[in-house]
Amino acid sequence: MKRLLLWLGGAAIALFAAIQFVPSAHTNPPVEFDAEWDSPRTRDLFYRACADCHSHETKWPWYSKVAPVSWLVANHVREGRRDMNVSVPDEVDVTEAVAQIRDGRMPPADYRLMHPEARLDEAEKADLSSGLKKTF
């Protein structure tokens, strides 16, 4: 039994090491559009809670470079940019963004877990929603 556990542990370590060579896209393309925010507060709230996935100004933390977490983070960013991207003109759906902020779906729970600064209280959600409507 001890031999089997050692073999399985070694195999797990080898697999973990091997998957580090599977690439994940960590890009920040050029910003094509710089929004004229309605207020500094809206901009601050957006960059605190949304910009990592919804702009080309993603901050890639250390854990985003370690597989398999790197794949999940890259996928979140890819999907976030696809759904709403303030760095590209005409790629902002404010109605859907506001609905998701109001319903607590944005920012997602796993993001809030790793980024406590992204946890918005009700007043901040209201200010961000209102500011996004005014900005876009």
pTM of the model: 0.87
H/E/C letters for each residue in 32-70? Answer: CCCCCCCCHHHHHHHHHHCHHHHCCCCCCCHHHHCCCHH
Distance CA 10, CA 133 (A): 54
Q: Which of 76, 67, 80, 82 is nearest to 110 (CA)?
A: 76
CA–CA separation, 29 vs 13, rounded Å? 34
Cα torsion angle, 91, 94, 100, 104, sign: positive
- DSSP structure class, residue 115: -
pLDDT at 120: 97
Under-70 pLDDT residues of the chain: none
pLDDT at 12: 83
pLDDT digits (tens, 9 = 90+) for 57-95: 999 999 999 999 999 999 999 999 999 999 998 888 899
